[in-house]
């Protein structure tokens, strides 16, 4: 008899907590919490077309630094070789930079040295988003 009374009280207490919103059934599951985190991210994105995940901005910054290093090396090689047009090879650029391995885009893009006078590019470029914070290019370098 006493055990059933305790069980009854426990059920009433949980029922009241749910009723007054102190605990939420959605909070009780990890899936529910994750779904709400995703919904919040989607909400931020919907509110601002310029919203970009932090990781994408960090990757773009590293990529742009790489592009500037590559472009500087490319210009130096072209100048030393008295080339005002045409191309500079990867081996010339890497030798100038003292590297054995080419620089890698952290987001998996691939680099093109392009013609002399045209900036080095990453295949990711502006990646179709409205924000420039995640762009992989050095247009005004």
List 125's β-bridge partners, or say none: 136
CB 119 within 8 A of CB 69: no
Tell me how far, at minimum, the Cβ of 41 lies from Zn ion, in Å: 23
Tell me how far, at minimum, the Cβ of 131 lies from Zn ion, in Å: 15
Q: Which region among 39-47, 48-56, 89-97, 129-137 touches Zn ion (by CB under 5 A)?
A: 129-137
Q: Enumerate residues 6+ apart whose C-beta is below 8 A from 83.
A: 116
Tell me how far, at minimum, the Cβ of 10 lies from Zn ion, in Å: 57
| 120: contact with Zn ion by CB under 5 A | no
| 74: contact with Zn ion by CB under 5 A | no
| Nearest residue to 78 (alpha-carbon basis) of 69, 88, 68 | 88
Q: Can you say whether residue 137 is alpha, beta or left, with left for phi > 0 and alpha for psi between -120 and 50 degrees?
A: beta
Answer for which of 105, 113, 119, 120 binds Zn ion (CB under 5 A) is 105
Interface ranges with Zn ion (CB under 5 A): 63, 105, 109, 122, 124, 136
């Amino acid at each position: 008899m006493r055990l059933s009374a305790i069980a009854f009280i426990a059920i009433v207490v949980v029922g009241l907590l749910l009723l007054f919103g102190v605990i939420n059934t959605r909070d009780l599951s990890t899936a529910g919490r994750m779904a709400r985190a995703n919904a919040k991210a989607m909400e931020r994105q919907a509110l601002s077309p310029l919203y970009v995940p932090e990781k994408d901005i960090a990757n773009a910054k590293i990529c742009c630094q790489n592009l500037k290093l590559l472009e500087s090396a490319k210009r130096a090689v072209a100048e030393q070789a008295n080339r005002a047009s045409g191309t500079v090879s990867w081996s010339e650029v890497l030798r100038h930079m003292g590297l054995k391995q080419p620089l890698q885009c952290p987001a998996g893009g691939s680099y093109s040295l392009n013609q002399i006078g045209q900036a080095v590019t990453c295949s990711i470029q502006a990646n179709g988003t409205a924000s420039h914070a995640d762009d992989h290019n050095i247009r005004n370098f």
